[in-house]
Amino acid sequence: MNLNEFLAENGDREIVDIEALEKCLKPKKPKTIYDIKKGDPYFILTLDGDIFKDEWYDWRSEEDMRSMGFVFLTEKEAEIRKKMLMIEEELIRLGGRREFKVGKDNYNLGLCATNKSIIYGTSSTYMGYGVYFDTREQAKEAIEKIGEQRIIDEYFKPRMIFEEDQERHDISYQTAKEIFEREWKKSKKIPVETWDQEKD
């Protein structure tokens, strides 16, 4: 039984010993890795790429690893971070660079969230985040060797938050037309031929 279920059955009863009640409850889970306390479980991504579970001891070495982004609440978060770092390093190996050349072309990769495809941006004055290439062709070649879908799934998507149901944004024109026609048959008020005229 969780606390909500208990309250639903006993919400009108008075608590006579709050300390005893606290002892019956499981400790609150930390919301972020910076909320963990001594004794809390966590996962660490080691410098050689291993992931293992440990207990927080408030050691300086733990704080150092956390400050560098190698400490996580879940194993899944650690695995996601590992894949992102590997993609970034592959981009470097295939001709990319972390340095921004002022006054020169700096091509880097982006993701169009609506159609889920990689886009290329360049600037000689505005420094963004990520890996840069001297030419668009170099960036494109690196994407082809690594795999565009892999880059999307392992490098970009883990950093995206969808506030709404993504399916609402993925309805194709054909699907929308079918919905329209079905509703028209019910109402018998709007001619289907007007659909193609109104969609523009």
* pLDDT per position as a tens digit, 40-53: 999 999 989 999 99
Name which of 111, 107, 127, 129 is nearest 119 in CA terms: 111
SS3 of residue 78 by DSSP: helix
The confidence score (pLDDT) of residue 22 equals 66
Amino acid identity of residue 152, one-letter, is: I
| Residue 85: band (very low, low, confident or very high) from pLDDT cuts 50, 70, 90 | very high
SS3 of residue 162 by DSSP: coil
Q: pLDDT tens digits for 145-191?
A: 999 999 999 999 888 876 654 444 444 445 555 555 565 555 555 45
Count of CB atoms situated within 10 Å of the CB of 81: 18
The confidence score (pLDDT) of residue 58 equals 93
Q: Report whether pLDDT(82) > 90.
A: yes
Compare 7 and 136 and report the one with higher pLDDT.
136
- pTM across the whole model: 0.67
